[in-house]
């Protein structure tokens, strides 16, 4: 099954709402990444987004940016990340995605990158700085290898632009809960809910909500409005302050 089918299958078996988590590969180490993924899967995560670190992560706030810089300083390579992704996809029966920036994939080579991703069993890719009008073969390479290009809606995205992005997207639509970068807690008020309903009307795909989702209260506020929540910076902060073992109880408490 492709990414969209796997998400819809999870929703069809009675899950009212799905959860996607985020790790930065190589931070604080691949050994800790392995422990964190295990904690996440054991406690019911439905998808995991694995970030290949980049030196200028424009969509990310200070927590993830620092994690990227640390991982790069420790010598993490794209090849390391691809190998780790293959290991995780072979070990755990949930969808895994790569998230990174276009310079990483462009330099590695579209065909080379997506061949490796397909071989690894990766189902999707999120690249915030690759808009369709700048496409130079990225989208075709992703689709040809069965890797869903996930695109992003923001509160500033017009209805017409949403429709345009939807025509190029696969898997699901990632809806940023607010303007700005990741990390800062979002206020899921009536304005955000109205925006998410606009997102829903603009796409044929499931919708996920990220940027500042941090608690069960946030998850509860999104139930019935979106299909999936994305938790990123919060789990990285937990690993930094309490270690990998703290991630499992936190994830379990979100349900």
pLDDT, tens digit only, all 255 positions of the chain:
999 999 999 999 877 889 999 999 999 999 999 999 999 999 999 999 999 999 988 878 889 999 999 999 999 999 999 999 999 999 999 999 999 999 999 999 999 999 999 999 999 999 999 999 999 999 999 999 999 999 999 999 999 999 999 999 999 999 998 544 443 444 677 888 899 999 999 999 999 998 878 788 888 888 889 999 999 888 999 999 999 999 999 999 987
pLDDT of 112: 98
Overall residue count recorded for the chain in this entry: 255
Per the structure, the complete domain to which residue 157 belongs is given by: 3-252
For 14, residues 6+ apart whose C-beta sits below 8 A from its C-beta are none
Instruction: Indicate the DSSP class of residue 213.
Output: -
**Burial letters 160-183, b for 16+ CB under 10 A, else e:** eebebbbeebbbbbbbbbbeebbb
pLDDT score for 111: 97
Is the C-alpha dihedral spanning 187, 191, 194, 198 positive or negative?
negative
Number of domains the chain is built from? 1
pLDDT of residue 224: 86
Does the pTM exceed 0.75? yes
Write the DSSP symbol of residue 223: B
The CATH number of whichever domain residue 58 belongs to comes to 3.20.20.70
CB 173 within 8 A of CB 156: no
- By annotation, the residues acting in catalysis are 49, 60
Listed in sequence order, the DSSP H helices in the chain are 3-12, 30-42, 62-73, 78-91, 102-108, 110-120, 138-144, 159-168, 190-202, 216-222, 233-242, 247-252
Q: Give pLDDT, residue 88.
A: 98
Please tell me the predicted confidence (pLDDT) of residue 186.
47
């Amino acid at each position: 099954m492709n990414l969209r089918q796997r998400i819809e299958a999870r929703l069809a078996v009675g899950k009212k709402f799905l959860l996607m988590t985020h790790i930065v590969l190589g931070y604080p180490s691949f050994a800790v990444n392995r422990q964190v993924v295990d904690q996440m899967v054991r406690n019911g995560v439905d998808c995991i987004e694995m970030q290949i670190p980049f030196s200028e992560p424009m969509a990310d706030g200070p927590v993830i940016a620092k994690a990227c810089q640390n991982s790069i300083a420790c010598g993490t390579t794209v090849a390391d990340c691809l190998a780790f992704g293959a290991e995780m996809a072979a070990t755990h029966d949930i969808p895994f995605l790569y998230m990174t920036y276009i310079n990483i994939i462009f330099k590695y080579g579209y065909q080379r990158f997506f061949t490796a991703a397909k071989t690894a069993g990766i189902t999707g890719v999120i690249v915030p700085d690759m808009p369709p009008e700048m496409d130079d073969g990225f989208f075709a390479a992703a689709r040809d290898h069965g890797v869903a290009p996930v695109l992003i809606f923001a509160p500033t995205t017009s209805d017409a632009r949403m429709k345009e992005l939807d025509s190029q997207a696969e898997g699901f639509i990632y809806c940023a809960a607010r303007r700005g970068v990741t990390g800062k807690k979002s206020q899921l008020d009536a304005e955000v809910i109205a925006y998410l309903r606009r997102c829903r009307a603009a796409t044929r795909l499931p919708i996920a909500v990220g940027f500042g989702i941090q608690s069960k209260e946030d998850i509860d506020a999104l139930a019935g409005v979106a299909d999936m929540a994305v938790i990123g910076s919060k789990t990285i902060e937990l690993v930094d302050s309490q270690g990998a073992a703290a991630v499992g109880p936190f994830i379990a408490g979100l349900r």
